[in-house]
Chains A and B, each alone.
Chain A
Amino acid sequence: MSILGQNFSRVDGPAKLRGSAQFTGDIEMPGMVYAKVLRSAYPHARLTRVNAEKAQKLPGVVAVLTRDDLKKMNAYFGPVVKDQPVVALDRVRYVGDIIAAVAAEEKDIAEEALELIEVDYEPLPAIFDPAEAMKPGAPILHGESARSETRLDRDQFHFEKNSNVLSVYHASQGDVALGFREADEIFEDVYSSQKIQHGHIEPHAALAYWEPSGKLVIHTSTQNPSSIRAQLAELFNLPQSKVRVIVPFVGGGYGAKVHPRLEPLTATLARKAHRPVQWVLTREEVFLTAHCHASVVKIKTGVKRDGTIVARHVEGVYDTGAYALTGPSTIKNGGEVSGGPYRIAHQDLTTYCVYTNTPPTGPYRGFGVPQVCWAYESQMDDIARRLGIDPLELRLKNLVEEGDRFVTGDELVSVGISDCLKRAAEAVGWQSKQEQQDRELRGKMRGKGLAVMIKTTMTPSNSSALVRLNADGSAVLLTSSVELGQGTQTSLAQIVAEELGIVPERVSVTFPDTDVTPFDQSTSSSRTIFTMGSAARQAAGQIKQQLMEIGAHVLEANIEDLELREGNLQVKGAPEKRRTISQLFQAHYGAAVGSMAGSYDNQTRGGIDPKTGKGKASAFFFLSACAAEVEVDSETGKVKIERIVSAVDAGKAVNPRQCHMQNEGSMIMSLGSALFEEMVFDNGQPINATFLEYMPPSMEDHPRQFGSVLVETPHPEGPYGAKGVGEAALGPVEPAIGNAIANALSGLRIKDLPIRPDRILKAVQSTKEESQ
């Protein structure tokens, strides 16, 4: 292997550094008009009147879309359940819910037209707290919604009826009551996490138009062209072949762009306008479009005096907002691993997906796992402290190992988690018992903390790849994987190049275009390198086989004695006996023309039974660890991260630098949500929905000592052993920082995220009062 494992320079570098990389909002079409939308001012209300007559008459307005326009189509969409209308029908469910849309020649005119739309509301009681929403008698947000049929995991959810609880995940093993009876110590805690913005700097954008033949074309900033195509086809009763989704560069997604957001409305408005319609969100609108599920996690754990965890009971409530999006999938993902990466004989795990009158959520890097990891890993340090065991030792004692049967029923393979933990701990100079000593006694409020994480990936899922080798020895990979910053075009080019024995510079990777590129489930769940990478490898492998067969004939050699290297097919150990790819084409076709194609449809199999929560939950498991060292200012409550290191089991790093950058990005993102990021609402009204008031971490927040470690435990089904890394590092960051703070504060525990200075000061104050 010569190309795999190399830090090959990114193929998208020149375009991005010159400013010429094209994002959706950069595309224009002749005759294009601009969309703006009218949003609800109420968190929950019946719409008694929507009148757009005046708006329609404003010069420059091309079309106004209201509920009256939805009568001849399926009004609802959604990836799991179809609960979200293109524009509101009878009622609005959050501040920012869309009531009407205008397409106009100029953006100013569209804005002006919105003010002419008359809306009468009849306010309804609203609920913002999932605990309230779960109580009997709470106002119900949704009736029964139709299920979406296009998801491979559609049978894995347990839905509730006539309730704000949309779905429940439950799994258990052993006898948890017995486990608690056997325990020497029992720990019971409640941890909470906040609503977080994805903060992709490119706001959502889409551009739609209808061809005269009746075909819908949409350019969109999405992570998931196949989901957009399927849902638009369902919305308009079109065959999928009549919906074309094209995705240029995407300016960050982190989950927020995984399922339809702007696309249904943009397409519907374009149909009415008979013109191409562009819709680009403002930053304030992005805040109203997607965010991370806030959560409350109750966790009860029974341990033996020697540190063996014997029983764990978890109940996690996730606030999915006003519409489901992938909520049921998120809470399933969180629930499956809510017991943590530990061997625990008795477990009972439940998670709930709950509607509230707040903006819709959706996948967020980590997909439901950071919420439970925050709970179990914070509690783990409290256990260590009370038992007088080093937190590193306590974890190592209980961690899962190769071949273990996980609570979901999966057999764990490629399990490098102990190595991840040891190497992260080593990187911050972890010194076992000494780390338990009270920092205050040393005159400095400094502490270190560790955490580990396990996460599943979307299973089952499909990825298809098509590779075309040209007669000049260059190749094209046709793929629907989205380049959203993670470097997927580069790493996939490396895989094809490795297989065909050519340099990656000679491989071109397409952007997704559903008319041309084969199906891919989604560029999410950090699944691309594992699932699409395998498909690309197999597709290229078919061409390799074809070249070998031609070469065996030409060189009069056995196939097993041949190899592809540096653009040549040669006899192993006798490189003078070789042919270039062009020469092989010549031998096969009579001239160096034409192409050879290989294609592969890859499916990872599995899924869980919604009744038991068990089955094959994941094609592979993400395993990671984080170690942090902090200093706490006891006067101001401010936390400074002195050192932070994440370690991730990558299986095999196809492009190590890109893997490190995924880890770094995960760490930066998560230190923001650990310490300060938080969406704030007052009775459903967003309070800080701009980057002035909600600021993601900047370079000034970047820790001075900042590291990433890659552990490589090859996975038998990953290409060359590779597993995904995109979000693996994120989960353990918050609890590692929380544990470091607790360590600095002599065990004082903050259980609510973010760990703001005022929370630290309040906690310090209350312990002082207790001791007086």
Chain B
Amino acid sequence: MKIELRTVINGREVEASVKPNQTLLEWLRDDLRLRGSREGCGVGVCGSCTVLVDGRPVSSCLMLATNADGKEIQTIEGLAKGDELDAVQQAFLDQQAFQCGYCTSGMIMAAKALLSSNPTPSEDEVRDYLSGNICRCGTYQEVMAAIRTLAEKNLANR
């Protein structure tokens, strides 16, 4: 049995049929071949599969693909505009806020969500918001620095 769904992924309309038990992550990776979102824990706590659904961060390993019907999805692949990196990606690059890179997509998507809802987060707010994104390489200091530079820029541009 397959279920029809319509959604917008990274700005493009997508119509597809999915299995009822297929997670959003499986659909993105296996069917749409968007493999920047990755499974780490399968139970929604490590954050490496984080995507934005209507602008809010979601663990795509826990959400059924069918629930994406009528919603707008943004994944790591949708951030850069051609050669130009998104501001969050650029800040991560400038601060070298990654090591093995496996958790990085999810970390960037969560940071993106944080900054769009709160453009000038305090350090405590950053720690709280990103506590669901685990980096075993221990790159937290650099990630916090990347977000801080963006927050400072946002504050200056107010």
Query: A residues touching B (Cβ–Cβ < 8 Å)?
Result: 7, 9-10, 12-23, 25-26, 108, 198-203, 249-252, 254, 282-284, 484-487, 657, 661, 664-669, 690-692, 695-700, 702, 706
Contact = CB atoms under 8 A, between A and B. Distances in A.
Nearest to A26: B35
A17 B102 contact: no
A723 B106 CA distance: 33
A203 B105 CA distance: 16
Given A17-B104, A18-B89, A282-B42, A699 B131 contact: yes
Interface in B38-53: 38-43, 45-46, 48
Given A249-B101, A486-B99, A692-B45, A23 B38 contact: yes
B43 A692 contact: yes
A615 B104 CA distance: 44
Interface in B1-52: 21, 35-43, 45-46, 48
Interface of B: 21, 35-43, 45-46, 48, 75-77, 79-80, 85, 89, 92-93, 96, 98-105, 108, 126-128, 130-144
A18 B76 contact: yes
B137 A485 contact: yes
Contacts of A695: 45, 134
A20 B36 contact: yes
Q: Ordered nearest first, which 8 A-B pairs have the shortest CB separation?
A: A19-B36, A485-B100, A251-B102, A16-B101, A668-B138, A19-B76, A665-B138, A485-B99
Given A201-B136, A251-B103, A691-B46, 5 more contacts: A108-B21, A249-B101, A284-B42, A486-B99, A691-B41
Nearest to B135: A201
A13 B130 contact: no
Say whether chain B's binding surface is mostly helix, strand, loop, or mixed.
loop
B75 A19 contact: yes
A198 B136 CA distance: 8
A666 B77 CA distance: 31
A440 B46 CA distance: 38
B127 to A, nearest CB: 5
A644 B23 CA distance: 41
Contact of A17 (B39, B108, B133, B137): B108
B102 A252 contact: yes
A510 B147 CA distance: 32
A434 B76 CA distance: 52
B138 A19 contact: no
A665 B41 contact: no
Contacts of B75: 19
B131 A700 contact: yes
Nearest to A9: B96
Contacts of B105: 19
B98 A17 contact: yes
Given A199-B136, A661-B139, A668-B138, A18 B128 contact: no
Given A17-B85, A18-B36, A250-B100, A669 B138 contact: yes
A485 B140 CA distance: 14
Contact of B38 (A12, A202, A485): A202
Contacts of A664: 138-139, 141
B125 to A, nearest CB: 11
Given A18-B36, A485-B101, A699-B144, A201 B42 contact: no
Contacts of B143: 699
B113 to A, nearest CB: 15
Contacts of A250: 100
Contact of A690 (B38, B43, B135, B136): B43
Nearest to A668: B138
A692 B48 CA distance: 14
A710 to B, nearest CB: 15
B96 A657 contact: yes
A203 to B, nearest CB: 7
8 contacts: A9-B93, A16-B101, A19-B77, A19-B104, A251-B103, A282-B42, A283-B40, A691-B41
Which of A283, A484, A487, A698 has the most chain B CB atoms inside 10 A of its CB? A698
A698 B133 CA distance: 7
B130 A699 contact: yes
B85 A700 contact: no
Nearest to A254: B136
Contacts of A254: 136
A691 B43 contact: yes
B127 A700 contact: yes
A16 B85 CA distance: 12
A17 B40 CA distance: 17
Given A19-B37, A19-B77, A251-B102, A665 B139 contact: yes
A696 B144 CA distance: 18
A731 B58 CA distance: 36
Contacts of A697: 138
A17 B109 CA distance: 11
A363 B46 CA distance: 23
A200 B92 CA distance: 20
B102 to A, nearest CB: 3
Contact of B99 (A7, A14, A661, A696): A661
Contacts of B134: 199, 201, 691, 695-696, 698
B109 to A, nearest CB: 9
Nearest to B105: A19
Contact of A702 (B80, B108, B127): B127
Contacts of B41: 283, 690-692
Contacts of B101: 12, 15-16, 21, 249, 251, 485
Contacts of B133: 698-699
A201 B103 contact: yes
Contacts of A10: 96, 98
B140 A17 contact: no
A254 B102 CA distance: 14
Nearest to A249: B101
B127 A202 contact: no
